[in-house]
Amino acid sequence: MAKDHDGSTPVSDAAGSGLAHQGGSEASPGTAVVVADPIPNPGFEPERHRVADLDPKKEKAQERRVAGLFLLSIVGSVFAIVAYIVFPIVPGDLDTVRANTFFLGLGITLGLLGIGFGAVHWAKSLMHGHDLVEQRHSTRGSEATRAKALEVFAAGNEESGFTRRKLIRNSLIGSLVVFPLPAVVLFRDLAPAEDPVALLKHTLWEEGVRLTRDPSGTPIRASDVTLGSAFHVIPEGLEESSHPLEEKAKAAVLLMRLKPEQMNISEGREDWHYDGIVAYSKICTHVGCPVALYEQHTHHLLCPCHQSQFDITEEAKVIFGPAKRPLPQLPISIDDDGYLVARSDFTEPVGPSFWERAL
Ligand code: FES
C-alpha cells in the first residue's frame, strides 16, 4: 500500500483496499481524512514574448496578415453573390444545381473562415498574451469595480489596438458588414417572381374545366361517383401547365357523393353540388397536408398529419383537430357530355392561412 510523506494513507488507497490505518489503529470505512495537497501551487509560467512583441517589423507583418484574412472574407462574400447570379439554377438540370451549390458554398466558406481565422490570428499574434486572475464577485460591482472595469476595457482596447489599428478594425467591420449580404440575396430569391398573393389565391380551376382522376387525368362522369366512393381529382390540362407540381399542390380536390337529405347547405351554395356530388379542396387548412382519408359511414375527412377532421355533411366544417377553417368547396356541375366540370375557381384561397389571405 502506498504511503505519502507524513505516513498517512491516501484516500484512494484506503478505498481501494477497504482498510485505512491511522496512527496504527484500524479506521472504519468513510472516516479517512483527505490530506492537504502536497503539491504547491506552481503559479503562472513566466510570459514568453512572441516575435511580434519584440520586433515592430514583425508586428506590422502580422497586422497585414490579419487584415488580409478579413479582406479574404470580403472577397468570399462578394464571390458568393456573384456566383449565385452567374451560375443560376436551371429547373431540371442537376449540373446547374451542383455548380450553384459548389460556388455559393465556396464563397460563404471563404467569408466565414476569413473572419474566423482573422480574429483568432489577431488575438494570438498581436493582442497581449499574459495570464490574468479574476476573482469572482457579486453581479453588480461597486463603483470602484465598475470604474476599474472601464479601465480594463480601455486597456483591452489599447492592447488589442482596436481603435489604433485602423486597417484591421476597418477591414473587420467591412467583412462583417459584407458577410450577411449573400443571405439577403438568397432569401430574397426564395420569393416567387410573380405576386405571391395572386399565386396563392387562384388555382387552375375555372368554369368548364373538367374534373379528372389523379394521376391518370381521365375525366369523371357524374354516374361514376357512387355513394361511399371518393375520387382524388386534378383539373384537366394540369400536365400542360407551366408548373404542374405547384398547380397540383393548390388544385387537388376530393370528390364524394352524399344523399341529398344528408346535406346541410348554406345560402348561396345551393348549386355548388351536382346531385349530391360534392368537391372539396384536398389541402388541409391547418398547415397544408393532403386530407386523404375518407370515412364513408360518417362522411368525415381526416388529415393524417395532425388529425384534423372535417364533416362534409356540414360543408367540411372542422369537427376536431387544430385546423381552424373548413375545407374550401369547389362549385361543380356537368357538361353536355355528362362529365363533371368546375363552375368557377374556389371562392376563397385554399390551404393554410397566410398574412394577406383576407386582402
Ligand atoms: Fe392537417 Fe395539420 S396539416 S391537421
Ligand 1 atom closest to Cα of residue 287: 3
The percent of residues above 90 in pLDDT, for the chain, comes to 63
Of 186, 37, 60, 78, nearest to 125 (Cα)?
A: 60
Q: Is 323 in the pocket of ligand 1 (CB under 6 A)?
A: yes
291 CA: nearest ligand 1 atom: 1
The pLDDT tens digits of the residues spanning 66-94 come to: 999 999 999 999 999 999 999 999 888 88
Q: Which tens digit of pLDDT belongs to each residue from 290-338?
A: 998 999 999 999 999 999 999 999 999 999 999 999 999 999 999 999 9
For the segment 84-130, what is each residue's pLDDT rounded down to a tens digit? 999 999 888 889 999 999 999 999 999 999 999 999 999 999 988 77
pLDDT at 50: 85
Give the cell for residue 127.
493582442
Name the pTM for this structure: 0.53
Q: How much distance in Å is there from the Cα of 36 to the middle of ligand 1?
A: 66
Of 21-25, 34-38, 257-261, give the lowest mean pLDDT range. Answer: 21-25
The C-alpha atoms of residue 238 and residue 234 are separated, in whole angstroms, by: 7
Q: For ligand 1, say whether the CB of 20 is within 6 Å of any of its atoms.
A: no
Which atom of ligand 1 has the smallest separation from the CA of 321? 4
Residue scoring higher pLDDT (8 or 162): 162
Nearest of 268, 267, 291, 297 to residue 279 by alpha carbon: 291
CATH architecture of the domain covering 199-342 = 3-layer Sandwich (2.102)
Instruction: Lowest mean pLDDT of 134-143, 231-240, 303-312, name the range.
Output: 134-143
User: Is residue 5 over pLDDT 50?
Assistant: no
